[in-house]
Amino acid sequence: MKKLLIGYQTAVDGLEKACMAVAIVLTGLLFLISAYEIIANQLVGNSPVWVEEVSNLLFAWAIFIGAGVIARHGGHIGVELLYEMVGPSLQAVLKAGYTLLTLVVVFVMVYFGWEMALFVGKYQTSLYLDISLFYYYLSVPVGGALLGLFSVAAALPDPRDKADLTQTAGV
């Protein structure tokens, strides 16, 4: 079981790094496109029509990819005061309950997000770029799946933490 936990946590570490890299690139592109819009508006007096559509696409993907990473590190809204007031056994119960509620949200995001992406993708395209809205809505189920993977990783024990402490104790 320990090898399985180490393997899962290691895999999620790699996925986290990849997600952070993608989110950084998307946010950088969002910044550049927004700056381009401002400069074009100041120089020409008119903004390119495609900027808003691309900005919405980049923003949605950056947010939904980043949400999972934040969940792994406990960055979402929580009731820390209550958690710190109770004993370790009740903390474990609260952590399990939080994880179960998160997995319910993940299920809703993945299932209904996928259904919505397929439905909207069949019939609608973006106004100016003529891109299927499937790619916009696909960010919801992908973000939900990442949120689930990272939330489970946060809830599971990480045996590597103890291994790191014992390896450096004699140094």
Mean pLDDT of 33-54: 91
Contact criterion met (CB below 8 Å) for 20 and 69: yes
pTM, full prediction: 0.84
Q: Do the Cβ atoms of 19 and 66 come closer than 8 Å?
A: yes
Q: What is the pLDDT of residue 86?
A: 85
Instruction: Say which amino acid occupies 112.
Output: F
Burial category of 34 from C-beta neighbours within 10 Å (exposed 0-12, middle 13-18, buried 19 and up): middle
| Percent over 70 (pLDDT), the chain | 90
Question: What are 97-145's pLDDT values in tens digits?
Answer: 888 999 999 999 999 999 999 999 999 999 899 999 999 999 999 999 9
The three-state secondary structure class of 125 is strand
Domain ranges of the chain: 1-155
